[in-house]
Structure 1
Amino acid sequence: MSDFVKNAENAPKGFVAAEAAGLRWLAEPQAVPVVEVLSEEKDSLRLARLESVPPTAEAARALGEGLAQLHDAGAPGFGWTPAEGAWFGPLESPFAVENTSRDDFGRYWADDRLRPLADAVTRTLGADGHDTVDEAIDIIADGAFDGVSGQGQEEPARVHGDLWSGNLMWTAEGATLIDPAAHGGHRLEDLAMLSLFGAPFLEEIFEGYEAVHPLAGDWQQDLPAHLFFGLLAHVRIFGEAYVDQTIATAESIIARADQLGF
C-alpha cells in the first residue's frame, strides 16, 4: 500500500497523537470512509495515500448517509476528545482548544469554544462587532441551539469537527474524511462547516443525511450558530478578511433565536 507522510515538525507537542486518535475514533463505527492511519511518530503521521476522483451526486448522498450514522455513534460528552490535547486550525498554525467533557451543549459551545476566540480577536472585530458577537454567544449559552430548531436537547454526536470541503477527499471508495478536529459535539457542526465554503453537491449530502436521521423542517436556519466557531477561527488565523461575515453571522444567530422564542 502506498502512503502519504504528513510532517508536523513545528506543530505543538501532542498534535500528531491527537490527529491520529481522532482518525481512529471516526473510523471506529465504520460509518463513512476515513483515511487510514498506518503509523505515527512524534512529529509525523503516515497515512494511506488517497487517489482523488471527481465528486458525484451519488457519492455526496452516500456521504450524508454515512455522516448521520457517524454522528449517531455518539460521544461521551460535548467537548470530549479521543486524545489528551485538542487543536483546531491548519497544520502551520493550529491553536489549542478546551476539551473538558460537558453534558450541556450551549455552555460547551459558548464558554469553551466561542468566547475564548471572541476575546482573542476583540481588537480585530472592533468594539461594535465584538458586542454583537458577545450577544450571539450569550444566546447560545442560554440554550437556544441545544436542540434542532428549538426542539429538545441533542445528545453528543461523534463529529469530525473541521469538516469544510477541503477536508473531504472524493475517492473511488466514496468521500473520505481527512484532517479532523474530532470531538463530541452537536450533529449540526459538521453540516454547518460543509455549508461554510460550499461543499460539492451540498443538497445531496443533506438529503442523504435526512434519509438516515430526519431533522426538523427548518433546521438549516440553525446553521449559523454551528459555523460560528469556524468563522471566529478564521478571524484569529487570517484576520480582517472574515470580520464582516462573522458579524453578519452573529446577527443571523440573534434573529434566529428571536424566531425560536429566546
Structure 2
Amino acid sequence: MDLPYLRAHPQHLPTFLEHQRIRETPVPGGDVSRASRLTLDDGTSLFTKTWPTGTPPEGFFEAEAAGLSWLSSPGAIPVPSVLAALPTMIALEWIEPGPPSPAAAARFGRELAALHRSGAPGFGASWAGYIGPLPLDNTVSAGPWGPWFAERRLQPYLRLSADRGALTPADVQAVEQTIKILSGYDQSEPASRIHGDLWPGNVLWSADGRGWLIDPAAHGGHRETDLATLGLFGGAPSVDVILGAYQEEYPLGDGWEARVPVHQLHLLLVHTAAFGEAYAAGVRSAAAASHRL
C-alpha cells in the first residue's frame, strides 16, 4: 500500500494492518487511544489511532476527523491532514516532532488568534462530539455563552463525576454555584472556532518550528477557553509568549484573567468524570475561583 492507494481506498487500511502488510511502530498517543506510526511501501509515514480494546464508541474517530477538517478550513493554523477516518481508526499525516521555542510559541499565538477570529455559526457544532473518551454535546445554540457553557460543558461532567464518586458533596455544591452564576452571566462576544481540548499535550511542536493542533474536541465556543486550558497541567512551553503574541493579534476582553478558572473547570470536570478523584483538587480550586466571576 502506498499513499495514492490509501487515498483511493482508505477502507482497506485495517485489512493491510491485520495481515501485517504495513510496518507499524507504537508511539505515544495519549490516554485514550492506541497510537502507531505506519510506514507505507513508498516510504510515507502516517500517524494512526485505534481503540485499545473492543469497539470504539459510535462516531468516535469520525468526530475527530470532522473537528480537524473544520479547524483546518480557514488555513489559519497547522492541523494534520486526515487520510482515513473509519469506524475503527483514524489515519493522519505524520508530523515530525521538534523542540518548542519562543519563536514557535509566538507564531502559535498569532495563528491561534487567526483561527479564533475566523468565527463559528454558533456555540456547538454540526456533528456529535467527543472529549477524551466521553461524549460532548454539540447541540448548536445562538447563545448567550454563559447559560450554554453551564448546560453543555459543565453540567454533564459534573453529573458523571458525582455518579462515580470522584467529587465530594461539597465539591458538587461548589460547581453547582458556578453553574448558577453562569446561567445569568451576560457575555456578548460571538462564538469563535476553537480547539475545545487545548491542554498543553494537544499542541504538537514540530521540527519546522510550528505548533500544530491535534486531538481536538472542536466546536464553536468562547476563545478564552482555549487560552485558559493552555495553562493547565504545568502549562504549555512559553505560555506567556503565546498569550502575548495572541493579545497583539486579537486582544482579549477586559477581565479575561478572572474568567480563566471557569473556562478551566470544564476540562477539569472531564478529567474527574473520565479518570477519577485524582483531579478533584483542581475542580475544587477552579470552582471556588469561579465564584468571583
Structure 1 and Structure 2 fold alike (TM over 0.5): yes
Q: For structure 2, which runs of at least 5 residues remain unmatched after alignment?
A: 1-43
Q: For structure 1, which runs of at least 5 residues remain unmatched after alignment?
A: 147-152, 258-262
Looking at structure 2, the residues matched to 225 and 143 of structure 1 have their Cα atoms a distance apart, in angstroms, of 12
Match runs of 1:138-157 below 5 Å:
138-143=180-185, 146=187, 153-157=188-192
The equivalent residue for 1:3 is: 46
Looking at structure 2, the residues matched to 118 and 141 of structure 1 have their Cα atoms a distance apart, in angstroms, of 15
Matched, 1:236 2:278: no
Looking at structure 1, the residues matched to 117 and 217 of structure 2 have their Cα atoms a distance apart, in angstroms, of 18
Which amino acid is the alignment partner of residue 138 of structure 1? K
Which amino acid is the alignment partner of residue 116 of structure 2? H
Match runs of 1:29-178 below 5 Å:
29-81=74-126, 83=127, 85-89=128-132, 94-104=133-143, 105-122=145-162, 123-143=165-185, 146=187, 153-171=188-206, 172-178=208-214
CA RMSD of aligned residues (A): 1.4
The equivalent residue for 2:225 is: 189
Query: Deviations 1:128-180 (Å, cap 9, x if unpaired)?
Result: 11111100111112115x2xxxxxx1100000011111111101151001111
Q: Is the 8 A contact 1:61 1:205 kept in 2?
A: yes
Q: Is the 8 A contact 1:34 1:178 kept in 2?
A: yes
Looking at structure 2, the residues matched to 95 and 250 of structure 1 have their Cα atoms a distance apart, in angstroms, of 21
Q: Could you tell me how far 1:216 is from its partner in structure 2? A: 3.4
Give the secondary structure class of the aligned counterpart of 1:111.
helix
Match runs of 1:18-33 below 5 Å:
18-33=63-78
Q: Is the 8 A contact 2:134 2:274 kept in 1?
A: no
Looking at structure 2, the residues matched to 111 and 22 of structure 1 have their Cα atoms a distance apart, in angstroms, of 21
Which amino acid is the alignment partner of residue 147 of structure 2? R
Q: Could you tell me how far 1:217 is from its partner in structure 2? A: 5.2
Query: Deviations 1:163-219 (Å, cap 9, x if unpaired)?
Result: 111111101151001111100000011101101121000000001111110123542
Q: Could you tell me how far 1:97 is from its partner in structure 2? A: 1.8
Q: Could you tell me how far 1:36 is from its partner in structure 2? A: 1.2
Structure with bigger RCO (C-alpha 8 Å, 6+ apart): 1
Q: 1:143 to 1:217 in 2, by over 3 A?
A: closer
Q: Is the 8 A contact 1:140 1:225 kept in 2?
A: no
Q: Normalising by structure 1, what TM-score?
A: 0.89
Query: Deviations 1:45-91 (Å, cap 9, x if unpaired)?
Result: 1111111111000110111111111011111111224x2x21111xx
Task: Give % identity.
Answer: 40
Q: Could you tell me how far 1:238 is from its partner in structure 2? A: 1.6
Query: Could you tell me which of 259, 262, 268 is aligned with 1:225?
Result: 262
